[in-house]
Structure 1
Amino acid sequence: MKLGFLTACLPSLSLDDIAGWAAAEGYQTLEVAVWPSTGGRDFEASHLPVATFSEADEDATRALLRRTGLEISSLAYYENNLHPDPATREAIRTHLRHVIDVAARLGVESVGTFIGRDPGLSVVENLREGEKILPELVGYAADRGVKIVIENCVMEGWHPDGYPGNLAYSPELWEWMFGLGFYLNWDPSHLTWIGVDPLTTIEPYIDRIVHTQAKDVELFPAKRDRFGLFGTVHKGNNPWEMGWWRYRVPGLGEVDWRHVVDRFHELGYTGTVSVEHEDPVWSGTEDKVKQGLRIAHRTLRPLIGEQTATERDIPAP
């Protein structure tokens, strides 16, 4: 098992700068964000130019990994693969193929994305649509030795009423997507706020958990008593505002990381535990984001295991 983080939390830094800092702080892997450089949402980041990835880019990336001793655990492009607009859906699929191609060239095991949803259709109607169009993407990746991992994020902000916008939020739906050939990027924070005990979901699906995102969640039950599970109706300009919970870095929320990582050890999980930093308390500046990543590292590193001598001896940039 190795400890890493998703680079999307540092969108203004280059991959070189992020890798140098990560290695000096004792991280072992990077889950590299590869949205298009024209991405519109504030959490999108483009740390590898996958659409135009040249031999020079490949050589530079391999040299960076050798220099820092890091590995790339996965390439991250989390978008709506069931987007209702045909042109947008095809643009997403085209970029996802570029991501898969670069993962294959770099020997990266997995690519992360979402199932997504057409909010104008029912869940069952979306499942039938997914069965028609998603297997082609799974096959494209498999032909190149790459697994597509789906994060179980609810993506409630993609639905006008705050309902699930990514049809991978429950174990019932995981079983559906596993039948199409997808794997799981397991994130306990989302399970926690929708009322699923994360610990109960590890052993039954351990063979499909290829990657793990380490994110915590802080709950405010008194506010939930007013808003209900789906959160406040009046969200202002923030479609992600739920009113009764917020994401935190590991160790500052409800997730029992001691038992989560112990269960991973017990079941022989050897993938990456990748910190996904979306903590509003430790955000706003580069220094605060980095401090949040340090808090996550201090929480998880003792549970995952001690650094090797090689890792400790990697020089700071």
Structure 2
Amino acid sequence: MKLAAFASCLPHNTLDEALDYLVAHEIYGLELGVGGYPGTRHADARLLAGDNAACARLRNTCQSHGVELMALSCHGNPLHPDATIAAAHDGDFRAALEAASEMEIPVVVGFSGQPGTGGVLNWPVIGWPQEYADQFEHQWRESLIPYWQPLTERARALGVKIALELHGGFAVHSPATLRRLREACGPALGANVDPSHLWWQGIDPARAIQRLGDAVFHVHLKDVCFRPDVMDDAGLLDCTPHARMDERAWYFAPPGEGHDAAAWQGILDTLHAIDYCGALSIEHEGYAPATEAIAATARWMRALSLRERRSATRTSTTTS
């Protein structure tokens, strides 16, 4: 496992500035946004796809800073009921797969997408009234599986893995929904595990990782905090905009602010147990400025790793 950071959390920096920042804080892995919701501030999948020289320049830029380009991010909604949005996000993701293959980047990260009608998203998450359950199955049968089956096959042919983030608001949001799509599409499709989104759903991230096993392709480092007084009033399905963070029942935070070191250690231990060797990518969407929060998260994760090594050493000494 290698500590990395999601470059889209540094939108006000050029790529060179972002890379200098990461190295200054001993972060030597990069998840690079190339389209969709993350945008194209640092790189554009459509300009990279099919342009070997552009891909080589990007790869060399990262290497010259001593940073490994570990994943391309193209989070979007290719199933959006607005055809213009769907087409844009679909084109970005397909280009990202081609660019990743050219640069020998193993993983492209994204969302499963979420269909709807009349240009409006429809995310059914309850089985009654029966119309919700019927709509859920219709979306999987008519939209989700037909879209991802050929795209997963294309990724397999290119030697690239697709990591879908388990995120509320999208069809694939849990271990169970990820497994269902993977069974339909094949092993080139797997999960991007962000513990914050799992805790929000009441899912234990360590157990989720254990259930997913070798389907874990990418990991985000992000926590979630709950405000009990607001939770009692608004509940988990609080639709207060994220911009009004002070009013929300829950909000995103750096690792350790919502769940303690023991909880995060359990996540790392489980990743070790499934032989995960990819990126631990810092994603920041909390209160503090990103330049402060990313550096603080890197220090906290290194301290956590150091505690783990010291504990292992003490255990080994005691046993011997």
Q: What TM-score do you get using the length of structure 1 for normalisation?
A: 0.83
Match of 1:141 among 155, 158, 163: 155
Q: Percent identity of the aligned residues?
A: 27
1:212-251 residue pairs with structure 2 within 5 A? 212-232=219-239, 235=240, 243-251=248-256
Give structure 1 regions of 4+ aligned residues with deviation exceeding 3 angstroms. Answer: 235-242, 302-306
Is 1:94 the counterpart of 2:97 in the alignment? no
**Residue 124 (structure 2) pairs with residue 127 (structure 1):** no
Higher RCO structure, 1 or 2 (CA under 8 Å, sep 6+): 1
Pairwise CA distance, 1:101: 0.9
For 1:310, the equivalent position in structure 2 comes to none
Could you list the per-position Cα deviations for residues 27-48 of structure 1 after superposition, in whole angstroms to 9, with x for gaps in the alignment?
1200001126xxxx6x645311
1:145 and 1:270 map into 2 onto residues whose CA distance is 17
Aligned partner of 1:159 in structure 2 is none
Q: Is the 8 A contact 2:76 2:111 kept in 1?
A: yes
Deviating more after overlay: 10-19 vs 253-262? 253-262
Q: Deviations over 1:205-251 (max 9, x none)?
A: 1210011011111111221111122115xx37959998200000112
Partner of 1:312: none
- Deviation of 1:176 after TM superposition, in Å, equals 1.0
Number of the residue aligned with 1:106: 103
- Point out the structure with max Rg over C-alpha: 2
Query: So what's the TM-score if we normalise by structure 2?
Result: 0.82
Aligned-pair distance for 1:263?
2.0
| Helix, strand or coil at the partner of 2:31 | strand
2:81 equivalent in structure 1: 84
CA distance in 2, matches of 1:94, 1:68: 30
Specify the SS of the correspondent of 1:184: strand
User: Aligned letter for 1:79?
Assistant: G
Deviation at 1:119, TM superposition (A): 3.4
Structure 2, unaligned runs of 5 or more: 123-134, 308-320
* Unaligned ranges ≥5, structure 1: 155-164, 283-287, 307-317
Q: Matches of 2:304 and 2:158 in 1, distance apart?
A: 34
What letter corresponds to residue 207 of structure 1 in structure 2?
D
Distance 1:74 1:215 in 2: 17
State the alpha-carbon separation in 2 of the partners of residues 184 and 219 from structure 1: 25
In the superposition, relative to structure 1, how do residues 168 and 218 fare at CA in structure 2: closer, same or farther (>3 Å)?
A: same
Compute the RMSD of aligned alpha carbons.
Answer: 2.2
Deviations 1:62-119 (A, max 9, x none): 2222222211111001101211123332222111111111101110001011112123
Greater percentage in helix: 2
One-letter amino acid of the counterpart of residue 52, structure 1 = L
Q: Residue 58 of structure 1: which of 43, 55, 60 is its match?
A: 55
Match of 2:175 in 1: 171
